[in-house]
A and B are shown apart, each in its own frame.
Chain A
Amino acid sequence: METRIKTVVALLSLVLIASLAGVSLYQGYAGRIEDDSTRILNVRDEFARLDPNGASRLLRKIAEDWKLAPLHERGAIPLVTAAGTLYALPDDRTILAAIIFRQRHVLVTGVIGLLLAVEAAIFLAWGLSRPLKRLAWAFDQIRSGSWVTLPPSRKQPYEVRRLTAIFNDMVDTLQRWKKLERQISRMDRLASLGQMVAGVSHEIRNPLASMRIHLDLLSDHVSDEGTESLRILGDELDRLNRTVSQLLAFASPRPPLSGPVAVNDLIRWCHQMLHASLRAGITWDASLDDDGLELWGDPQQLRQMLLNLLLNAQEAMPGGGAVRLAARKDGNTVEFRVSDTGPGLPDVLLERIFDPFVTTKGDGTGLGLSIVHRIVELHGGHIEYATSPQGTTFIVRIPAGREETRQ
């Protein structure tokens, strides 16, 4: 675009400059010939007394760039001399050169004008192509997977504003479609996973229960050396059992047994649970709510939700940091904020963080956040997160009253 605009502007400027210079030079030339002719004709009679050399000298004195010729040519002035008729002719080349030199300022100004016009054309082209460039950049960003919108500006021309608005609408629609597609896909996957997990868990749970009973029976007949091994075996069985229970809870969630829940009770419970298992280098801070907030929900599920988030926060900071839990009333909802000062969530997981079996920990089940998400959904709430290299904050909003929960 720039080359085209530059070419058009340069050509227009050249034509304009050439026309102006041409007219100016022509006028200068015609004026000079007319002045010289008038001067020559005024002293015409004096040539009659002169020989050709004298006539030539007189002619040069009157009109510098004229010469005498024996033959008639177009535009020549006949002069009768003592040796016969001679013709005064202008030396066009010399006269033109003199006029060009006299009007050099016009020509130099023309060159300056041409350069200024071309430089203005460059910025004009930049101004015109900039919105297109911005749009191309935005499309490229979307192609590479990051959602961007273009900020509208009142300074932009109407056409560009309209284009920007259409683009932003398109991005919005695409985002909603994408979200819907993800939800459908997630639900499909969850349904099939649920079926499979439920079946497998049942099959595992029964033998586990039987193993636990027999292990307890066995402990009475084992010598002191074997007691420690039996204890480890028992712990591992319990851990396995808990995992299976989690899987079952995830696969076949029970509806919440809702009732009034005091937010401060939840926070105190979390404090007791977390304070005991806090790792070295991690500080824990929970602020109690001063207004005695209550919400309508299943206390057991809400505890599990908060504990999962807090444990997750703790595990996100292997090198130590701070975990914080806060609650406040936000309109008709109660907002819980669980934050850590860890390195943030990896980019690749951002879209799938609530999907089951998605984990960054080597020994994690990847069910913690899925269960949180499920509990929030069952309570009619909403969960979101903000992550950066300075830390991650999960924000859970649960409707405060019965009505909102139903809705």
Chain B
Amino acid sequence: MILSQAVGNLIAFGVYAILLVVLAGQAFTWNENRTRFYLAGRNLGLRASLSTFCATWMSAASLVGYTLWFYRDGYVAFTGSVNGWMLGLLALPFAVIRLRKSRALSLPEWLASEYGDIRLRTLGASALLLAYVFYIVTQFQAFGGIVSHMLDIPSWVASLLVYLFVLYTTFGGLASVASSDEMNLALILIGVTVPAAYMLGRLGNPIELHRSFAALGPDLMRPFGTERPTFIFPMMLAWGLGVAANPQYAIRIMSASSRRTAYSMLVLAPLIVGWIYVCLTLTGMGGRVLLPSLAGPGDDAAFSTLITAILPPLPAMLLLVGVLAAAVSTANSQLLLAACSWCYDLPFHDRTLHRGDFGSEERFLVRNRFAIAAIASLCLCISQLPLPGILRLGRYSWTVVALCFFLPMYLPERYRTRRLFPAVVAALALHHLLLWLFPLPAEMTMLPSLLLELTFVLAGPERTET
């Protein structure tokens, strides 16, 4: 490793920490209540909504995973992941009106009120908590792995850094998350744009870069790579459904100051997210041209080897900060939702607001902060265990969330009176059974489970309770 690069990375960490402390939001605001804590008072403007939407979208796992996948297998990465995600983004505008019509503070609460079944709230919250715990673990792992290789520090120390950054920004609720996400998105954009610009400066314009990349092998140019379309297409579809049903985005739709802001956010987000993917594609492409073979014990080690080998110290440092910003921005959003599920949606706690009692709301919000700290600490501990890998955990989380929320969010109005709970339970059971019985990726087992859920809903009886 180049010494000055390691020093630059160390300094970048310090600067990021100071920037976060100075720019991120306040934790205990004077007039806080649960609506402000979970939904920023439903008052996020376009800039804040767009920033938090895009920053949350770009996780450390996505930045590392997509770049490496493109580097190794070429355009199949674009087909399998970016296409799917964008497909999910196209569905989100259809959920705006029904999500914003409700006064619910969380997606499980919305689910229960929309379908008149309180069990759906418990089920949705449990699934969300489980899925996000695993997903936060992947963020800690992804970042911890990369930084431990780049700075030659223990992986748990690097994960501890992200843990502290995430805690700091989450304690203030969604408003604090959104304000830190503005900074994080700017850092992600800089972090991916400068390396891409460096690649173009070094290897010529995008067309020349593309030609050089194509010359490395025909498989890199195939939309389905060396895989069968029957494998890639379900993966794309499953990830798309996962995006469309992801509570992170639903919450950002609910917290926007108006319906118009929500629609504008969804219209502008693809431009920003698309730009990031274009930059990562150019970096992955340039990386393959400059360093045709790459060996590493895992994705994180391979990524750090790649960026130190192909990028000068400054772009490499900026990309690393971008990965840190992506890890923090995704993990804090998920941590907030996990805490919300634990404290607000699961029926173990008193969630009633006693208006004449000052302590009632305060105790509730303090309990949320303890939940945030507890869940983050749990994720930090799990991230240090030998786990099946970032991608598998991410896929599992994604699919569980999709099974719980996709159909409820997009079912046509006339099916709203159907009994949904048995359908979701059956789908989750089938999904886990298939995962346990067959060595298939979670995306493959999700689709039949989703079909089963749809069949249950369409063929099942109407609910009797009102």
Contacts and interface: CB of A to CB of B under 8 A. Distances in A.
A2 interface: yes
Interface string B148-162: 000111000100110
A122 B27 contact: yes
Contacts, number: 79
B17 interface: yes
Contacts of A141: 356
Contacts of A112: 157, 160-161, 164
B451 interface: no
A7 B99 CA distance: 39
Nearest to A126: B28
A101 B7 contact: yes
Contacts of A334: none
B21 interface: yes
B165 interface: yes
A193 to B, nearest CB: 34
Contacts of B10: 100-101, 104, 107-108
B353 to A, nearest CB: 14
Interface in B138-189: 151-153, 157, 160-161, 164-165, 167-168, 171
Given A119-B168, A134-B358, A108 B7 contact: no
B104 interface: no
A118 interface: yes
B147 to A, nearest CB: 9
A108 B17 CA distance: 11
A247 to B, nearest CB: 39
A129 B29 CA distance: 10
Chain A interface, >50% SS class: helix
Given A97-B4, A119-B168, A122-B27, A107 B358 contact: no
B14 interface: yes
Nearest to A133: B30
Report the interface size class on chain B. Answer: 20 to 34
A97 B164 contact: no
B417 interface: no
Interface string B6-36: 1100100110011001100011101000000
A3 B17 contact: no
B3 interface: yes
A128 to B, nearest CB: 10
Contact of A118 (B4, B21, B157, B160): B21
Contacts of A114: 17-18, 21
A406 interface: no
A115 B165 contact: yes
A105 interface: yes
A130 B363 CA distance: 12
Interface string B46-58: 0000000000000
Nearest to B9: A104
A98 interface: yes
A366 B167 CA distance: 61
Interface of B: 3-4, 6-7, 10, 13-14, 17-18, 21-22, 26-28, 30, 151-153, 157, 160-161, 164-165, 167-168, 171, 356, 358, 362
5 contacts: A108-B13, A111-B161, A112-B164, A116-B164, A122-B168
Interface of A: 2-3, 6, 10, 14, 94, 97-98, 100-101, 104-105, 107-108, 110-112, 114-116, 118-119, 122, 125-126, 129-130, 133-134, 137-138, 141, 146, 148
Given A104-B6, A104-B10, A108-B13, 13 more contacts: A14-B18, A94-B3, A97-B3, A101-B10, A104-B153, A114-B17, A114-B21, A115-B17, A115-B161, A118-B168, A119-B164, A126-B28, A130-B362
